[in-house]
Structure 1
Amino acid sequence: MSTENEEKYEKYYVPEQSPWPIVGAIGLFLLAFGGANFIQNSTGKYAPAATDGFSFQVMFSEWGWFVFALGLAIMIYMMWSWWKDTIQESMGGLYSAQMDRSFRQGMLWFISSEVMFFVAFFGALFYTRVLVMPWLAGEGNNAMTHALLYPDFMSHWPMTMLPTDKFEGAREAMGAAGLPAINTAILLTSSWTLTIAHHALKDGNRSALLNYTAITALLGIIFLGLQVWEYIHAYNALGLTLGSGIYGSTFFMLTGFHGLHVTIGTIYLIVLTVRIASGHFTAENHFAYEAGAWYWHFVDVVWLFLFIFVYVL
């Protein structure tokens, strides 16, 4: 190819065949399968009864945690290896402007899918609070349904008194003050420190870049520690558990999945901190850092909606 054509057409990098997608698929399957079994049987309410003969369900219920741990180990190994390959390709100068655009589009689609993920959960909360509970309380044309099913039921959120004896409701709702408010301040602060770090990267100030990225990662760790503390308080002091009706299930579904995303984002920030200390990223080539910043800001915005609709309202 002539020099003129080389200048006209940018290079296009085609990665080698990778084993990591199939490894990740296996890890995700084991993670979901083992985790679902472990959660179902850890409550004690749905654990299969022991029998005199062989029972695959009884046997597997004792191994759900092992399958979950195996899937988690495979996922960690997959992410570590895949990230290492991608970093080596980037640092080797193999990527072009076209690859940079592809990475950005992929990250935007990924965050869009995450938005839909949380929209579904917020939709479940909205459906329960705005439609189902008034319907069970007899609003509209449902007086007969109310009288036949739950004549003593009143529409009130958070629902701590359950219209059935099968589950025990929470003794008290989780308020917005205290740990939830502190965690909100922590995440807002972390967005500010990450923005400072991002601008420092563009300005070539590597000292500020390293310090503020490390501070953001530390704030993520503190958030997760306080959320664990909040969960312990919810279980022991408030009786708020996964088994305490629709309020408990939606509370832990939303805050738990958000906590999982904060965990992923914190790991990402720690990796970015290590890469910065190793001399990676320049003002011109730093998409991996921008992707982490996009993801972290997305997690922060989700928490603001969560704080308002789960804790405040």
Structure 2
Amino acid sequence: RLPYPSPTGRDTPQPCRVEFRLPDDVVVDKPEVAWRDMESQSWSDEGIGEVEWDPSTRKVNFSAALLAPFAVTVLRSAHFPYQQWQITILPDAKESTGDEKRALLTVVTALGLEVRVEIRPAGVHLVAPERDELRHLRTDENGHGIFWSPAVLLTKLRDAGINLMPVDEDAQWLLKPRDVKDPALELLACNDIAELVLMGHDVAGSQHNNALECGKGRVVLRARPNPNALDLDRDDNEKHKEYKVAMVWPDKCALISAVEGSDFDETLRAPTHYSLTMALTGPTATSTDATDADSVKYMDYIAQTLRLTRPLSFG
């Protein structure tokens, strides 16, 4: 028996076993247990040991040298930085109201977890991971896919143990600390990417985005045309798989000579333009109408998802 709350003193109490069951909608692989230190208003694992986890019963069992509020904790920065990210064009969905544009955001986190989110004018749908704990986020009781606003889905994912909404302060806790992008630049680039996806382009992260030369004031990404929503990475034609590398400044965009796997090269390949779409497609390209209601909602959900997941700063 241990008194609660634990008294302060020199004597070290004998540890006791504690067991509790985790909810079905929380993702856990290897639980880490901590107790709440009310004085410092922080979590501590001091005095916690012999943690055992039974996935079949979802019970956590551990020894504790004190009694306090216990919890299974996850580092909020555990999934950052992303190993890779990309947005690919999907074939239009056939709906009763007509064809609906779709894109797929794929993020591979620092822990190797692949998260896929489908984006439509109707909202965002969690495609993967296909874990039982997340079934309530993917489908309703009739088995139909659920479409959420980006903020709601990502908040529910965070509540389930998968945090994909980094804040600036998280950058200092990464194994390799980094500077996050300037907020105005990040917002501009997210909006430009949304328009580029509407115009039928796949977009992906670039290793050069984290080059010292880029710092906070420039964003580097890759893009390629995919108006027919093909799986270009499975195409036999290597030319189809190629991305162009683009740089975004606060006041302009341009294609640059950088190549993945090589040293950073910011030599301009073409004149600068005011938007990514102009830089990638040119001023005379035929564009999709970006003013109809569905297109506006589609771009807004793409931009919202990027602003919340922040692959430009944490990718």
Give the TM-score taking structure 1 as reference length. Answer: 0.23
Larger strand share, 1 or 2: 2
Give the TM-score taking structure 2 as reference length. Answer: 0.23
Larger helix share, 1 or 2: 1
